[in-house]
Amino acid sequence: MGAPLSTGPYQWVGSAPTAEGLARVTRTWSWATWVHIEPSIELRAHNGLVVRLYGGRSFVLDPSDGLCASDVSGACPSHGGETSWYGGIAAGLAF
C-alpha cells in the first residue's frame, strides 16, 4: 500500500445537466497536486521476471484552485475532476 504524490498542470473535461440538456464543462488547474492511494501486488519469478499489478484512487489536494468554464451560464459543478480511478501493470527484470 502506498500514498505517492504527483504534481503538474491538469485539465478535466466533463458535462453538467442544464435545462437545455448537457453542457460541456472544463476545470483547469495551472498546477494541481495529487495524492494517490495505491494498493499493489508484486510477483517475482526465479528467472528475475517481475510483474506488478497496481490500482487506486487519486485525489486533488488543492480543489479550490481549479478554474471552471462552461458553454452554459451556471453549469459549473463544484467537484468535477477532483478524483480519478486508475490501474496498470508493470513488468521488468530484477537482477
Range of the domain at 12: 5-39+60-87
pLDDT score, position 14: 87
Number of structural domains (the chain) is 1
Give domain status of residue 69, yes or no: yes
26/19 Cα distance (integer angstroms): 19
Q: What is the pLDDT along the chain (95 residues), one digit of tens a residue?
A: 778 899 999 999 988 888 778 888 899 999 999 999 999 999 999 999 999 999 999 999 999 899 988 887 777 777 788 999 999 999 999 87
Give domain status of residue 83, yes or no: yes
CA distances, 5 to each of 35, 38, 60 (Å): 5, 11, 10
Give domain status of residue 14, yes or no: yes
Contact 50, 42 (CB under 8 A): yes
Give domain status of residue 16, yes or no: yes
Give domain status of residue 55, yes or no: no
Give domain status of residue 29, yes or no: yes
Q: Between vectors from CA 69 to CA 78 and to CA 10, what angle results, nearest 5°? A: 80
Q: Between vectors from CA 55 to CA 50 and to CA 61, what angle results, nearest 5°? A: 130
